[in-house]
Homo-oligomer: A and B are copies of this chain.
Amino acid sequence: MSENRRTNDPEGVRRRIVDAAYDAFVTQGYLATGMLELRERASVSGGAMAHHFAVKRDLGLAVIRDRVSEAVRQTWIEPFHTGTNAPAAIDSIFESIIGGLTQNGRVSGCPLNNMAMEISQHDAEMRGAVSAVFGAWHEALSDSFETDVKENRARELNPQSLATLVIASYSGAMAMAKARQDVSPLIECRAELAALLAAKYR
């Protein structure tokens, strides 16, 4: 019966595997997680796992394309569609991430950066999947800065390099916070970014 339910719902099985993999890759790392452990976490048979993901790398690609990109969209892209301007959106994103981590009491890091640091320099397809997520994130930020300039809210600024600085400083601060298990690098970066953006806005 349970075997039937599995074979009759391949999409559900796939989703369960990718959910379990996302959770494991984010909390303990891609390289540190084995396929057997993922089968157990997702409660799927060896046959079902092999049907959907022959090797861990395929699952890594699915996690980046389906889950990591969605996490970045929800956390870092959507707020720019509703915010009044880029600095306000950035500040509220930092506020909600810092609040979440403080409540959680544990810093597992940024899902995208965790995956980015673990993939091999020599795997062009995985690099491409990670780059596409960075690209969408960067575009949301630079578009928002550009709109602010066009609509006369911002003074002179370079939307491209400023977007890179925001993403880089957030990513680096999260890595420091993870290494120290302490949110203060994020709090300090939030303050410095707010001040530097305020100087560029009217």
Name A residues whose Cβ lies closer than 8 Å to a Cβ of B.
Answer: 27-29, 31-32, 106-109, 113-114, 116-121, 127, 130-131, 134, 158, 160-162, 164-165, 167-173, 175-176, 178-181, 185, 188-189, 191-193, 196, 199
Contacts and interface: CB of A to CB of B under 8 A. Distances in A.
A172 B114 CA distance: 11
A193 B165 contact: yes
Contacts of A29: 31, 118, 120
B175 A116 contact: yes
A171 B113 CA distance: 11
Number of this chain's copies in the assembly equals 2
Contacts of A127: 179-181
Given A189-B168, A193-B165, A180 B120 contact: no
A66 B158 CA distance: 40
B172 A168 contact: yes
B164 A176 contact: yes
A117 B192 CA distance: 24
A55 to B, nearest CB: 15
A134 to B, nearest CB: 6
Contacts of A27: 121
A180 to B, nearest CB: 5
B31 A175 contact: no
A175 B27 CA distance: 19
